[in-house]
Amino acid sequence: MKSRLTVSLVVLLSLAVASNGERIKDIVDIQGVRSNPLTGVGLIIGLADTGDSTLPSRQILTSIYRDSGVFLSPSDLSGGNIAVVIVTAELGPFAREGSRIDVDVSAIGDADSLQGGMLLPTPLKGLDKQVYAVAQGGVSIGGWTASGDAASITKNHQTVGRIPNGAIVEREEIATFVEYIAGHRLITLNLRNGDFSTAGRISQVINEAYLNSTTVVDAGTIKVSVPGEINQAGIVGFIDDITKLEVEVDVPAVVVINERTGTIVVGENVGISAVAISQGSLVVRIQETEIVSQPIAPFSDAGTTERVPETTIGVEEKKGYLIPVSRAVTVSDLAKTLNAIGATPRDLIAIFNALKEAGALQARLVIM
């Protein structure tokens, strides 16, 4: 039985019309506006004999009993209905005291399932060891387990769960996104994909709205000065105004290959220099010719005779031979042709790797 390979080829097409650009808010992060990770070690109770039997879970339960005035040792307890978990959450940049955030719980013992469990109150700490939130509540695992004497069936992962709005914020850490330097108020925009061209375009479009207000620090950083006429209450509106502006994003020349799935992502700006290709019995022809254009306009002398270049890409399967190429073509043209004939992922990956080694692939090649 032959395994069937599926070719998944994605060609990213850049948009030439400036009005079809991206909003600045979609391609940058504002420095200082970020979440903070919180973690804690908690205990889930109420499990139907699917918990763990490790010593840490019994020790935590012993401590809870001790706080209630009941003194027991871990050896007096048995596992099965409890599970020790790591509780994680993200404290948002504008989360206020008393607001709620989602938490995730992950078993760290030998528990089989957290289905139906209840998390006891668990303090969540930041990296500074301070408590910022307290989590508790029923665990949702988004699945189920059913079993009999000889077989069982499971849907989704049973030892990781989520508690929506499961933590109450006890201490807030409000983001600081405005810098005060030498009497100026500055906001820093960090590009998610650093590029000098895109950074320059962002600076240009903001300067058109607010004259001489930006400075490009590097390929990934643009500093914006808040105009003096904007008061403190108007800074939010100012940020909204500049981040709604649109710019054309410069797409880097890159080819990404995932050999496990056969997925190939090719940027439109990627080009191929003069080259000839033969992959096994697969022959790729890239040929340039010139045709003569002779406009015919009845009863008129309009129109001139011109030589127009024409590029032809053909693929056939036979005994391999090489055909020289006299000009560069885009990878998207080559990829579309290869994909149309049903070339396998192995063929495509081998061709792109060979093009890179030959120095004919004018792009960065990323293998996943």
Percent of the chain with pLDDT over 70: 71
Q: Position 346: which residue type? A: R
In the chain, which ranges are continuous DSSP H helix? 55-67, 196-209, 235-243, 331-340, 345-357
pLDDT mean over 224-243: 92
| Residue 216 pLDDT > 50 | yes
Instruction: State the average pLDDT for the chain.
Output: 79
Q: pLDDT tens for residues 292-326?
A: 666 665 555 555 666 666 665 555 555 544 544 44
Question: Which residues pair with residue 44 across a beta bridge?
Answer: 83, 119
Residue 54 Cα distances to 74, 119, 220, angstroms: 10, 17, 48
| Residue 341 pLDDT > 70 | no
Percent of the chain with pLDDT over 90: 36
Give me the DSSP letters along 83-113: EEEEEEEEE-TTPPTT-EEEEEEEE-SS-S-
DSSP tag of 181:
E
Residue 333 Cα distances to 86, 184, 257, 309, 327, angstroms: 50, 50, 17, 16, 13
Give the 3-state secondary structure of residue 118.
Answer: strand
| Residue 7 pLDDT > 50 | no
Close Cβ partners of 55 (under 8 Å, ≥ 6 residues apart): 74
Domain residue extents for the chain: 22-33+176-247, 36-169, 254-367
| Residue 141 pLDDT > 50 | yes
Question: Which residues pair with residue 285 across a beta bridge?
Answer: 314
Q: What's residue 11's pLDDT?
A: 40
Q: What's residue 59's pLDDT?
A: 83
| Residue 192 pLDDT > 60 | yes
Q: Position 206: which residue type? A: I
In this structure, are residues 158 and 141 in contact, taking their beta carbons and an 8 Å threshold? yes
Cα torsion 251, 252, 253, 254 to 10°: value is: -110
Q: Which of 42-46, 201-205, 338-342 has the lowest mean pLDDT?
A: 338-342
Rounded to 10 deg, the angle between the 345-357 and 331-340 helix axes is 150
Question: Which residues pair with residue 272 across a beta bridge?
Answer: 329, 361
Both tokens assigned to 367: 């293998």
Q: What's residue 188's pLDDT?
A: 95
Q: What's residue 18's pLDDT?
A: 38
Q: What's residue 37's pLDDT?
A: 95
Q: What's residue 292's pLDDT?
A: 60
- Looking at per-residue pLDDT, the higher value among 342 and 173 belongs to 173
Q: What's residue 17's pLDDT?
A: 38
Q: What's residue 10's pLDDT?
A: 41
| Residue 4 pLDDT > 50 | no
Alpha-carbon distance of 351 to 347, in angstroms, equals 6
Give Rg (Cα) of the chain: 31
Q: How many residues does the chain have?
A: 368
Q: Position 308: which residue type? A: V
| Residue 185 pLDDT > 60 | yes
**pTM recorded for the entire structure:** 0.67
pLDDT band of residue 19 (cuts 50, 70, 90) is very low
Fold of 22-33+176-247: Gyrase A; domain 2 (3.30.1360)
Using alpha carbons, select from 295, 297, 296, 293 the residue that is nearest to residue 307: 293
Give the 3-state secondary structure of residue 18.
Answer: helix
pLDDT mean over 348-359: 80
Identify which of 64-73, 232-241, 328-337 has the greatest average pLDDT.
232-241
DSSP tag of 268:
T
Q: Which of 140-144, 216-220, 303-307 has the lowest mean pLDDT?
A: 303-307
In this structure, are residues 110 and 67 in contact, taking their beta carbons and an 8 Å threshold? no
Give the 3-state secondary structure of residue 161.
Answer: strand
In this structure, are residues 150 and 86 in contact, taking their beta carbons and an 8 Å threshold? no
Q: Which of 63-77, 102-116, 154-168 has the lowest mean pLDDT?
A: 63-77
Q: What's residue 134's pLDDT?
A: 97
